Amino acid sequence: MSIYVDENTRVVVQGITGRDGSFHTRQMMAYGTRVVSGVTPGKGGRDFEGPDGGAVPVFDTVAEAVGETGADASVIYVPPAFAASAIMEAADAGVSFIVCVTEGIPVLDMTRAHALARDRGCRVLGPNCPGIISPGKTTLGIIPGRMVIPGPVGLISRSGTLTYEAVHHLTRDGLGQTTCVGIGGDPLIGTSFVDCLAEFAKDPDTEAIVMIGEIGGTAEQEAAAWASANLSVPVVGFIAGRTAPPGKRMGHAGAIISGSSGTAAEKTKAFEDNGIKVAKRPAEISSLVAEALGG
C-alpha cells in the first residue's frame, strides 16, 4: 500500500506553465501520476502538453479545475510571494491534499495558510519540501521516480537532499519503499513526523521506517516518543547537522540550534532512548534497515 496518495490520486498543478512547474509536471506525468489539470491565472483555456503527446486543460482558478476535472490533490510550484495564497485557494476549492514545493515563503503568510487549511480539513505537505512518492504508483513534487523501487520501507525526511541520498542507498541495496515523504525544513510545516508515522502504522505493507531529522526544534524527540509508544515496526534514524555551531542557521529555515533540545546530540539521544537505531552517516541507513528487517 501507500500513504496519503496512490495511483488513483487526481492532481491539479498550480503554476503549471512556469519553468519549474512545466518541467516537473512532465516528469510526474511520465511516471504515471494522474495529472488532470493545471492552474495559471490568465492562461485558462489553454492545454498543457505532456511528455507523450497527451494534454491536460489549464484553468484560471483551482475552483474551476476541481469542478471540471475532479482533482483531489494539488502540487504548488509558484513563487514565494504567492505560494501561501495558492495553498489557501486550493483548500477553499476542496482539495484534500496539497504539496507545496516552494521555499522562502514568509512565516507570517504560512501561519494564515496553515490555519485555513486546518479549518477546511485539508492536509498540507510542506512548504519547502520535495513532495511525496509511492513507488510504482504516483509522485507529487520533485522526487525523481528513477531512484525508487517498491518495497517494505517507509521514509520520512525534513531534508530533500537527504531523502534522495537515503533512497539511493536503500534502492541500491534492494530495499524498496512503500512511500517516501519529504515533510519540509521550514519552522512551520503542515505535516509532521508524527502525522506520517501514524499513517505508516496503519499500512500493513510498511515493515520498517526511516526517519531523517536535523537540528532545530523538538519534532524528532516528539516523534521518537510517539514511535516508542505506538509503533510495532522498527525505526532507523539519522540526524543531520552534528557539527553545526549554536545560533547558526544551516540550510533550512528551521535548522537552527536555539537551545539544548535542538542539538543533534539531544535528538540522537532521544532516538536511542526510544529504541531507534541511529546511523552516523547516510550510507549506514540501508544496512541498519536490513538488520532491522532480519536481513
Side-chain half-sphere exposure of 241, counting CA atoms within 13 A: 30
Closest CA to 84 of 61, 107, 109: 109
CA distances to 51, 60, 218 from 17, rounded to whole Å, are 14, 12, 38
- 252: annotated active-site residue: yes
d(CA 136, CA 127): 25
- Show the cell assigned to 12: 491539479
Q: At what angle do helices 219-230 and 264-273 cross, to 10 degrees?
A: 0
154: helix, coil or strand? strand
d(CA 211, CA 236): 6
Peptide bond into 127 cis (omega under 30): yes
Q: Which residues are catalytic?
A: 252
